[in-house]
A and B are shown apart, each in its own frame.
Chain A
């Protein structure tokens, strides 16, 4: 289980007259993501989704608060050990174009501490699951968008993590590629993995998420299952709930 306790991330903005203004991109968020559930993080642009997920994945250090990982009852505090249990994917993470997918996977595998036979075994398994046999030895820069997306996902799988963090993974993808990712997340959830992911697509979140976290200006506005949110707000669907909770104009202006 991934546990975030009262996370705050402060950035410094340059303002007039050389003054520096501090603002909290994430302002005291606490969430828990358990194995076997999908948690969706929803919010307007600039709400703090990416910063939150980066802190959960250990890419950024929180200004205050702490991220821990409960692995079979044992609490992991070390950032590197936590990273070892997480597969992080974002829409704009690129892969090393001059390497082949196989080279990339074996590099990442050995960084995660797997030995060579184990890495080869995993690569074969993943290649089967994601159907990458045709292009696994081609340079990544030569791959099509869909193939690159599969290579990206394979990168998160190689070390068989307990938890996935996906930052807008379907952003800008066509229906086939995005549904592949959505189905992948469902399948991983069934096999007992936890997923926390952010998106702009309400229908996708409705279809996929066990719990939904709505954030605005770095704070949680509402958190719960879809049904809970519906009864609490009295709205029909997620889009309306979102509209009622977050004054979109103001949020976008921020």
Chain B
């Protein structure tokens, strides 16, 4: 890479972006004008409302015999800012409904006690505040009476009323208290402001450039892809950092404005020495840099896939939601920064900043989080360089829309599903499986599981029928040579062996998740073997294969390169099992299933593989003793390292054998060419 080239490109990107009104508004006006204004105004509004509540005069009607004696009680409120006006009316309820009176008070003495009843309207603000004030007044009156009676009985008033006294003394310093309060909100604000700050330059330098047609100009120059990406990335990162810093300054400004209030709330009037936060601020700035690297790279990756400003904006919405969701982790009290959480993007920064503000400095953790962020950033930049290398994306003419929203008469008959439709199918199926499927499994157990499987089949099938797809081609419904079934058997036995190792490793990483999954499964399956076998092994073998290797894989291979199509669809298959501990194992299984489906062009060998795999786990669940006699390694609680190595080696050997057997013969290849 040539630094001179990067420098001039960077200068150009900065000029280009900074002369765009949208960026400047997002970067300067929002943090420096809008935020403070909104916060200060809402603060003033709040105090104004509180003031009007506490200083109002409330109109009440005492609607009972002998109310005259009590009028004094409501008139004589020497130490309060609010006051009552006692109004006489003939029909108090209707007066209240007409809002001429705020509350009506009734009392009866029949039980020997003074039983008050306060009638108010919770739907009317003033009326419900009035009810609170009346309640305060009556409670004070009640206390007064109690004291008098105690005195008359000759008891010590204070001691009788408060026989137990509790005193709390907070040993946290003022700074610690303030820090832990700020620790919940600051990380969230930081993450969001960085995301907002990078969004517009990210769109502008990638999709915006494509839309304006200037990318071709750049390609005519002696500039390498890496130089181009690096300069864009530096520009977006710079703007992200600048806008984050401006956001923080503005937050600090607003904080200083409210300092009096905040300090008194947090520390009961004590002082906060800001100098104590200096190390946190310094490390925090490092965090901002690291996170800016990460978030600019990610948002640029997302935007680079889009052809226009509008499209890029649409792509960023889910990213924003994901980032927001991840930054909420900072709000969860018992999630702490550990080597596990440190690798979760966004959440790691939030947790680190929270720790810093609570004066927890773990140098190793700080280094890890910074490293992880920069590493993700670098990976994303490399991905971005790949995206920019693809001529299909640079010179491409936009992707098709989602077909289901087209008029049905316009849809061509007998075509192949498109990838946009596949994504929609995946999302709809996932939602149905999570909500409807989950509910049904809780209600109907094993048969709920069957219903879930039917959903997995019904959604893509319905979609394919509606959009008039070629059903046989879409779901790969055709026979194939027997050799693929032989290959399938090799692949699945090898896959199960490797899977045992990966699930062992995953279980070690995500302990709770594995235990939960095993428990919930035991609840559902019941105690009869045959139905369980049909529902756990046969149904998924049919339904999941048709969905994932049929609809999803097929539509993805039509659009993406073969390897990415296989990996993406296998990862979706893994994610769909909704368990962190199962993810790796199911994804590997997914890759093997994809392989045989692609090679044979048929859904059938995959179904066989899937059935064998699920049937085996079903057998293990029902007959652990018999299995342990035959194949002890399957039911062992802990697999030793040597066993693991052996299993991996044997599994890989079998898989390789399966791959060899299942490879398309060259005759078929020639035919295709």
Residues of A bordering B, CB below 8 Å: 14, 16-18, 20, 57-61, 79-81, 83-84, 86-90, 92-99, 103, 106-108, 110-113, 139, 155-156
Instruction: Tell me the bound Cα distance from A95 to B213 in angstroms.
Output: 8
CB distance from A16 to the nearest CB of B (A): 6
B214 and A111 contacting across the interface, CB-CB below 8 Å: no
Please indicate the chain B residues that have their CB under 8 angstroms from the CB of A139 in the complex.
Answer: 19
Contact of B222 among A81, A97, A103, A106 (CB under 8 A): A81
CB distance from A63 to the nearest CB of B (A): 10
A60-B391, A99-B15, A99-B16 as given contacts; A93 in contact with B8, CB under 8 Å: no
Please indicate the chain B residues that have their CB under 8 angstroms from the CB of A57 in the complex.
Answer: 220
From B554, which residue of chain A is reached at the shortest CB distance? A18
B222 and A14 contacting across the interface, CB-CB below 8 Å: no
The 15 sampled A-B contact pairs (Cβ below 8 Å) are A16-B415, A17-B470, A61-B391, A81-B222, A83-B221, A86-B220, A87-B220, A93-B220, A94-B214, A95-B214, A97-B212, A99-B15, A103-B12, A111-B8, A156-B220
B554 and A90 contacting across the interface, CB-CB below 8 Å: no
Query: Does B5 sit at the interface, judged by CB under 8 A?
Result: yes
B15 and A98 contacting across the interface, CB-CB below 8 Å: yes
From A80, which residue of chain B is reached at the shortest CB distance? B222
From B12, which residue of chain A is reached at the shortest CB distance? A107
Please indicate the chain A residues that have their CB under 8 angstroms from the CB of B8 in the complex.
Answer: 106-107, 110-111
A83-B222, A107-B9, A111-B223 as given contacts; A14 in contact with B559, CB under 8 Å: yes
From A61, which residue of chain B is reached at the shortest CB distance? B391
Kindly supply a per-residue 1/0 record for chain B positions 526-559, scoring 1 wherever the CB is within 8 Å of any chain A CB and 0 otherwise. 0000000000000000000000000000110111
From A90, which residue of chain B is reached at the shortest CB distance? B216
Please indicate the chain A residues that have their CB under 8 angstroms from the CB of B558 in the complex.
Answer: 14, 18, 20
Query: Does B516 sit at the interface, judged by CB under 8 A?
Result: no
A113 and B4 contacting across the interface, CB-CB below 8 Å: yes
Query: Does B414 sit at the interface, judged by CB under 8 A?
Result: yes
Query: Does B11 sit at the interface, judged by CB under 8 A?
Result: yes
From A81, which residue of chain B is reached at the shortest CB distance? B222
Contact of A111 among B9, B212, B213, B414 (CB under 8 A): B9
Known: A16-B414, A99-B12, A111-B223. 7 other contacts (CB 8 A): A14-B558, A18-B473, A80-B224, A95-B217, A110-B5, A111-B8, A111-B221
Please indicate the chain A residues that have their CB under 8 angstroms from the CB of B214 in the complex.
Answer: 93-96
Instruction: Tell me the bound Cα distance from A139 to B15 in angstroms.
Output: 12
From B414, which residue of chain A is reached at the shortest CB distance? A16
A103 and B217 contacting across the interface, CB-CB below 8 Å: no
Query: Does B20 sit at the interface, judged by CB under 8 A?
Result: yes
A108 and B221 contacting across the interface, CB-CB below 8 Å: yes
B220 and A59 contacting across the interface, CB-CB below 8 Å: yes
B414 and A59 contacting across the interface, CB-CB below 8 Å: no
From B209, which residue of chain A is reached at the shortest CB distance? A96
Instruction: Tell me the bound Cα distance from A80 to B227 in angstroms.
Output: 12
Please indicate the chain B residues that have their CB under 8 angstroms from the CB of A86 in the complex.
Answer: 220
From B221, which residue of chain A is reached at the shortest CB distance? A111
A107 and B555 contacting across the interface, CB-CB below 8 Å: no
Contact of A94 among B7, B212, B473 (CB under 8 A): B212
Instruction: Tell me the bound Cα distance from A83 to B225 in angstroms.
Output: 14
**Pairs A-B, 8 closest by C-beta atoms:** A94-B213, A88-B220, A18-B558, A98-B19, A80-B222, A83-B222, A18-B416, A110-B8
CB distance from B550 to the nearest CB of A (A): 11
Please indicate the chain A residues that have their CB under 8 angstroms from the CB of B559 in the complex.
Answer: 14
Please indicate the chain B residues that have their CB under 8 angstroms from the CB of A17 in the complex.
Answer: 415-416, 470, 473
Query: Does B219 sit at the interface, judged by CB under 8 A?
Result: yes
A18-B554, A18-B555, A94-B214 as given contacts; A107 in contact with B11, CB under 8 Å: yes
Instruction: Tell me the bound Cα distance from A126 to B26 in angstroms.
Output: 38
A16 and B416 contacting across the interface, CB-CB below 8 Å: yes
Interface SS of B by simple majority: helix
Instruction: Tell me the bound Cα distance from A120 to B487 in angstroms.
Output: 69
A107-B11, A113-B4 as given contacts; A98 in contact with B220, CB under 8 Å: no
Instruction: Tell me the bound Cα distance from A83 to B5 in angstroms.
Output: 14
Please indicate the chain B residues that have their CB under 8 angstroms from the CB of A61 in the complex.
Answer: 391
Instruction: Tell me the bound Cα distance from A95 to B231 in angstroms.
Output: 18
Please indicate the chain A residues that have their CB under 8 angstroms from the CB of B19 in the complex.
Answer: 98-99, 139
Instruction: Tell me the bound Cα distance from A58 to B225 in angstroms.
Output: 13
Contact of B5 among A20, A94, A111 (CB under 8 A): A111
Residues of B bordering A, CB below 8 Å: 4-5, 7-9, 11-12, 15-16, 19-20, 212-214, 216-217, 219-224, 391, 395, 414-416, 470, 473, 554-555, 557-559
Instruction: Tell me the bound Cα distance from A93 to B559 in angstroms.
Output: 28
Instruction: Tell me the bound Cα distance from A87 to B217 in angstroms.
Output: 10
Instruction: Tell me the bound Cα distance from A44 to B558 in angstroms.
Output: 29
B557 and A18 contacting across the interface, CB-CB below 8 Å: yes
From B389, which residue of chain A is reached at the shortest CB distance? A61
Instruction: Tell me the bound Cα distance from A20 to B554 in angstroms.
Output: 12
CB distance from A151 to the nearest CB of B (A): 11
Please indicate the chain A residues that have their CB under 8 angstroms from the CB of B11 in the complex.
Answer: 107
Please indicate the chain B residues that have their CB under 8 angstroms from the CB of A20 in the complex.
Answer: 558
Please indicate the chain B residues that have their CB under 8 angstroms from the CB of A58 in the complex.
Answer: 219-220
CB distance from A52 to the nearest CB of B (A): 14
CB distance from A197 to the nearest CB of B (A): 14
Please indicate the chain B residues that have their CB under 8 angstroms from the CB of A59 in the complex.
Answer: 216, 219-220
CB distance from B230 to the nearest CB of A (A): 13
Please indicate the chain A residues that have their CB under 8 angstroms from the CB of B555 in the complex.
Answer: 18
From A108, which residue of chain B is reached at the shortest CB distance? B221
Please indicate the chain A residues that have their CB under 8 angstroms from the CB of B557 in the complex.
Answer: 18
Please indicate the chain A residues that have their CB under 8 angstroms from the CB of B414 in the complex.
Answer: 16
Instruction: Tell me the bound Cα distance from A80 to B223 in angstroms.
Output: 7
B9 and A103 contacting across the interface, CB-CB below 8 Å: no
Contact of A103 among B15, B20, B391 (CB under 8 A): B15
From B418, which residue of chain A is reached at the shortest CB distance? A14
From B555, which residue of chain A is reached at the shortest CB distance? A18
From A110, which residue of chain B is reached at the shortest CB distance? B8
CB distance from A53 to the nearest CB of B (A): 11
Instruction: Tell me the bound Cα distance from A96 to B8 in angstroms.
Output: 14
Instruction: Tell me the bound Cα distance from A192 to B504 in angstroms.
Output: 73
Instruction: Tell me the bound Cα distance from A217 to B473 in angstroms.
Output: 31
A111 and B222 contacting across the interface, CB-CB below 8 Å: yes
Instruction: Tell me the bound Cα distance from A89 to B224 in angstroms.
Output: 19
B217 and A98 contacting across the interface, CB-CB below 8 Å: no
Instruction: Tell me the bound Cα distance from A155 to B214 in angstroms.
Output: 12
B220 and A83 contacting across the interface, CB-CB below 8 Å: yes
B217 and A93 contacting across the interface, CB-CB below 8 Å: yes
Please indicate the chain A residues that have their CB under 8 angstroms from the CB of B222 in the complex.
Answer: 79-81, 83-84, 111-112
Please indicate the chain B residues that have their CB under 8 angstroms from the CB of A106 in the complex.
Answer: 8
Instruction: Tell me the bound Cα distance from A156 to B5 in angstroms.
Output: 17
Instruction: Tell me the bound Cα distance from A17 to B395 in angstroms.
Output: 25
CB distance from B23 to the nearest CB of A (A): 11
Instruction: Tell me the bound Cα distance from A60 to B216 in angstroms.
Output: 10
From A165, which residue of chain B is reached at the shortest CB distance? B220
From B562, which residue of chain A is reached at the shortest CB distance? A20
CB distance from A55 to the nearest CB of B (A): 11
**Most chain-A Cβ atoms within 10 A of its Cβ — which of B222, B223, B414?**
B222
Instruction: Tell me the bound Cα distance from A94 to B16 in angstroms.
Output: 14
Instruction: Tell me the bound Cα distance from A57 to B222 in angstroms.
Output: 10
From B673, which residue of chain A is reached at the shortest CB distance? A22
Please indicate the chain A residues that have their CB under 8 angstroms from the CB of B415 in the complex.
Answer: 16-17
Please indicate the chain B residues that have their CB under 8 angstroms from the CB of A93 in the complex.
Answer: 213-214, 216-217, 220
Instruction: Tell me the bound Cα distance from A110 to B15 in angstroms.
Output: 16
Please indicate the chain B residues that have their CB under 8 angstroms from the CB of A103 in the complex.
Answer: 12, 15
Instruction: Tell me the bound Cα distance from A92 to B214 in angstroms.
Output: 9
Instruction: Tell me the bound Cα distance from A80 to B1 in angstroms.
Output: 12
Instruction: Tell me the bound Cα distance from A59 to B216 in angstroms.
Output: 8
Please indicate the chain B residues that have their CB under 8 angstroms from the CB of A155 in the complex.
Answer: 217
Instruction: Tell me the bound Cα distance from A14 to B412 in angstroms.
Output: 15
CB distance from A97 to the nearest CB of B (A): 7
A110 and B416 contacting across the interface, CB-CB below 8 Å: no
CB distance from A180 to the nearest CB of B (A): 20
Please indicate the chain A residues that have their CB under 8 angstroms from the CB of B470 in the complex.
Answer: 16-17
Please indicate the chain B residues that have their CB under 8 angstroms from the CB of A107 in the complex.
Answer: 8-9, 11-12
Instruction: Tell me the bound Cα distance from A89 to B470 in angstroms.
Output: 45
Please indicate the chain A residues that have their CB under 8 angstroms from the CB of B391 in the complex.
Answer: 60-61
